[in-house]
Structure 1
Amino acid sequence: MPGGRLTQQDRQRIAAGLADGLSYAEIARRIERPTSTISREVARNGGPGGYRPQEAHRATVQRARRGTPAPPRAADVSGSRMEEEIVELAVRSGMPRITARVHVDLMLSEDGRRTAAELTCRLNVSPASVSVAVNYLVQHGYVRRERDPQRRRDIYVVDDEAWYHAIVISARQTLESAQAAMAAAETSGLDTAVGERLARAGTFLERVVLDMKASADRWRALLT
């Protein structure tokens, strides 16, 4: 019955479509519903990775009987506030907001794994925004990509050593800056004011970053 309420059979077909890696648009086409109906149905019932058709149907029936949606649980509200606080800290440190939201959602997931479709649905952002955010996180070592050969899609993972890899990448980039400063100092002349200033800056950065890398290596075992 296109346009009406989703039936239990519709929900089973949604679950089957998700298991097959189909897009929301394709699932909607197959059961003759608007794509927005499918995305809303999945988002409010566990997301792409946690959608259960029978549980979703029971929850919908219960909401219809009550007439109003259930208020959020205290634990959900507390978790949401905690997530928002972590995102704000990341933004203040210089991370783009959507990137911070993607990173935090991955960190707070049960197994530290999400697909692009799951991130898009959970955060209500465009696939392009998720792609940009993930590229940033991968480039800086916070996240790694894994390929799902069965469904031919990428899975984004925050593993136990993500912070170590992020520090190593940051250290390498800072060391390159230090070396560039010292090279510029030699070009300018170490006996000039500019050369001395650049040499001091380069030496400082080099010593600090090497200490940081050594400390990360020393305490890496804490992450495993």
Structure 2
Amino acid sequence: MPGGRLTNEDRRHIAAGLAEGLGYTEIGQRLGRPASTVMREVTRNGGPDDYSADRAEEATRRRARRQKQAQPPAPPVLDSGHGRDPQAVHDFTESFTALLEQQGLPRMMARVLACLLISDSGTLTAADLVQRLRISPASVSHAVTFLEQQGMLWRERSPGGRRERYVIDDEIWLRSTLAALRMNDALVAASRHATEILGAATPAGARFESSADFLLLVSESLQKVMEQWRRTSAARSAGRQ
């Protein structure tokens, strides 16, 4: 099922695609999966030259057994008060984490982001994340660095304090979109440059030119959406005063 865990049949399709010489994107399109999911699956199970569906399936089962034995389920992530149902919060945390994974976010990064989003304060330390998610400090550091690069959180220190805190706010998706916009603009520039080098009259050059035109429309649309959001947010803030 698209978005769920890879099945043995999925793995056989991946192996067949690799044998045909297909790239991760093409294989992912056949399966209805992100290319990143296919890439992680192949990379962790021998690479494109040594991938085997049966070996990958067995390795996945072994990892699942080890994780089940070594890591008890993490407790529901809750702040105090508000009369929330702990099990409902826990179930939503798991489903939202899975949703973030489906969007291409690696699982550890998805777990850290979901944990921050569900906290009322929107602020947690590395120690908080280690305790709530039952993961290592190194895993927290790696996940936080990745999320910071994507514009999804930032670091701060309390006045006079030594501990870093990781912070999100209501504009998390705005900053993430800004990061995506910068990458999109870089792709537009690179595609324009490729068109000049390859020649717009050639098939490859025309392909890059078409890509640049499309990506430029995406950038313009994103800029309009963000400007509309800023106006809406400013009006909402003014209404609260």
Greater relative CO (CA pairs within 8 A, separation 6+): 1
Q: Does 1:105 align with 2:115?
A: yes
Residues 1:175 and 2:177 aligned together: no
Q: Residues 164 and 220 of structure 1 are in contact (CA less than 8 Å); yes or no, is this contact kept in structure 2?
A: no
Alignment TM-score, normalising by the size of structure 2: 0.61
Please report the TM-score for the alignment, with normalisation by the length of structure 1. 0.65
Judging changes above 3 Å, is the alpha-carbon distance between structure 1 residues 221 and 109 closer, same or farther for their aligned structure 2 residues? Answer: farther
> 1:150 corresponds to which letter in structure 2?
G
CA distance in 2, matches of 1:100, 1:193: 40
Distance 1:88 1:105 in 2: 13
| Distance of 1:221 and 1:102 partners within structure 2 | 30
Partner of 1:158: 168
Q: Percent identity at matched positions?
A: 34
The alpha carbon displacement at 1:74 in A equals 8.5
| 1:185 matched to 2:195 | yes
In the aligned structure 2, how far is the partner of 1:206 from the partner of 1:74? 45
Asked if 2 retains the 8 angstrom alpha-carbon contact of 1:179 and 1:206, the reply is: no
Q: Report the residue type matching 1:142 in the other structure.
A: M
Taking the aligned partners of 2:223 and 2:95, their CA distance within structure 1 comes to 28
Q: C-alpha separation between the residues in 2 aligned to 1:74 and 1:154?
A: 28
* Matching of residue 77 in structure 1 with residue 77 in structure 2: no
User: Contact 1:145–1:156 (CA<8 Å) still a contact in 2?
Assistant: yes
**Per-residue Cα deviation, 1:124-150 (whole angstroms, up to 9, x for no partner):** 000010011111111111111112242
Deviation at 1:168, TM superposition (A): 0.7
Larger Rg, first or second structure (1 or 2): 1
Unaligned stretches of 5+ residues in structure 2: 1-73
- Structure 1 match to 2:152: 142
CA–CA distance in structure 1, aligned partners of residues 223 and 148 of structure 2: 19
Q: Report the alpha carbon displacement of residue 181 of structure 1 after superposing the two structures with TM.
A: 1.0
RMSD across aligned C-alpha pairs, in angstroms? Answer: 2.3
Number of equivalenced pairs = 158
